Amino acid sequence: MSGKAHDAETATSRRPPRRRHSSLMPQYLELIRCGAKTVEGRICKGIWEDVVPGDEFVFAPNLGPASAPAAATSPSPASVAPGGGTASPASLQPPAPLLVRATTVRRYDTFEGMLRGEGLAACLPGVGSLEAGVALYRAIPGYAAQEAAGLGVVGVGVELVAARFEPEEEGNGDGEARLGR
């Protein structure tokens, strides 16, 4: 398998941009929010199979049990208390959803190829080595098997549109949302 990128210039790139919804571990939400994480990497299937530049993603926190390896749990910007100490997990509120726009979309055969092509720091800020980054992705349930099955991975460049994204609690029911920075 090659580690080279394949730009996502297919028939789907001619369609209008779509808004999609996905979950993300809270530490990665915060790294996108503060501008440190600029590429989201996923298995190339489902909503990630036909992403095009201009698509928007509402990322909400994945509040399930933390099964990420220790290397993925370094203090995020949200967990650092004033004065530089680490905040107590019990005192943390789940991060607010955020809205991003896809700026680039590149497909790769493997996570290693994506991390080399997009840059480790852009995908996984704070992770010390390519090997550790590959291990983080493969530790996500199902990702190693799906990568081995040849589905490939996608590296989506993201720019922050709204640091806080909350659906209208009241309104006309048309699905409009409030954006806040």
Domains belonging to the chain, first-starting first, are 19-65+95-162 (2.30.130.30)
Q: Tens digit of pLDDT for each residue in 129-171?
A: 999 999 999 999 999 999 999 999 999 999 999 999 886 533 3
C-alpha span between 96 and 98 (Å, rounded): 6
Report the range out of 3-17, 35-49, 56-70, 159-173 with the highest average pLDDT.
Answer: 35-49
Asked whether the predicted pLDDT for residue 75 surpasses 70, the reply is no
Residue 81: predicted pLDDT:
37
C-alpha span between 107 and 105 (Å, rounded): 7
**Which amino acid is it at 12?**
T
Asked whether the predicted pLDDT for residue 25 surpasses 60, the reply is yes
pTM, to two decimals? 0.75
